[in-house]
Amino acid sequence: MRRRRLPIRDMAPTSGPGVTTPGQVAECLTLPGVTLIPMTHQDLEAFVDQEVADYADERVFDGTWSRHDAPERARAQLVRVIAWEHEALTAERQRLLTATDVNGERVGWLWVKLGPPGPWSTSAFLCQMTVPRPFRHHGYGRSMLAALEALLAGEGISDLRLNVYESNLAAKSLYAAVGYRLAEQYPTMRQLQKTLSGGLDAGVQSSDPGPVSVG
Ligand SMILES: CC(C)(COP(=O)(O)OP(=O)(O)OC[C@H]1O[C@@H](n2cnc3c(N)ncnc32)[C@H](O)[C@@H]1OP(=O)(O)O)[C@@H](O)C(=O)NCCC(=O)NCCS
């Protein structure tokens, strides 16, 4: 699937995530529609498998490991993260979400931690987002972020942060393109922040957020 760039006058609707106003730019992207739903155990396994494959590829690419044993070494090194992701399935202040496209196909996964509960709880941390390799560069990452931001803003969260490795050019480029700003600089990674505004009117307040769609 290829994304089309349309003049803004040809686009509908005229507001909402992924839609800019005429005063901002002369054209904007048509984003593929995604819906965020709670992750199943099966989705989690697919998410972890893709995460391991990506990590193995990075280490092969930077010359650290051989292609032969990279998958095994990657899984061994990520064992703690994988355990945290399994815990997140049932943890109260965490969300594991699957993004589906308009045909119900899985096009990505998100892992988010919400800040501590209470009336001043306005922060969340995006621990991971992954688009399965065959679906990359079709706009799904951008759509998933827009849907997530809408979901969180609807719950009163205004501060979304994430860490990204300096070497991860694709992710850095994506976050910069959709308005994430430098919050902290570390030796090999940076923390980015976005202030969320607006939000959904729909009832997305419970620990089961229900489906949230964008696009
Ligand atoms: C990072 C990731 C989520 C992006 O998802 P995606 O669906 O491919 O991204 P999109 O198609 O929505 O691209 C949106 C923008 O991201 C940037 N981008 C995406 N892939 C890129 C690449 N390979 N190189 C450079 N920029 C890239 C571009 O700015 C792009 O906008 P453009 O198409 O107008 O140029 C995906 O590559 C991925 O899952 N990577 C592995 C996991 C990961 O690194 N997650 C982030 C952890 S912090």
pLDDT digits (tens, 9 = 90+) for 40-87: 999 999 999 999 999 999 999 889 999 999 999 999 999 999 999 999
- Across all residues in the chain, what is the average pLDDT? 83
Query: How many Å lie between the centroid of ligand 1 and the Cα of residue 171?
Result: 5
Higher pLDDT residue, 121 or 34? 34
Q: Which of 161, 156, 162, 160 is nearest to 121 (CA)?
A: 156
pLDDT tens, residue by residue, 161-192: 999 999 899 999 999 999 999 999 999 999 99
What are the pocket residues of ligand 1 if the criterion is a CB atom closer than 6 Å to any ligand atom? 54, 128-131, 136-142, 162, 164, 168-171, 173-174, 177
Q: What is the pLDDT of residue 62?
A: 87
Q: Helix, strand, coil shares of the chain as percentages rounded to 5?
A: 30, 25, 40
Architecture label for domain 32-200: 3-Layer(aba) Sandwich (3.40)
Residue 118 has a pLDDT of 78
Are the C-beta atoms of 165 and 62 separated by less than 8 Å? no
CA distance 120 to 115: 9
pLDDT of residue 40: 97
pLDDT of residue 146: 97
Q: Output the pLDDT for position 18.
A: 34
Taking the CA of residue 126 as reference, the ligand 1 atom at the shortest distance is 48
Residue 200 predicted with pLDDT over 50: no
- Which residues fall within 8 angstroms of residue 187, CB to CB, at 6 or more apart? none
Comparison of pLDDT for 2 and 72, the residue scoring more: 72
Q: Please state, as a whole number, how many other Cβ atoms lie within 10 Å of the Cβ of residue 150.
A: 22
The domains of the chain are located at 32-200
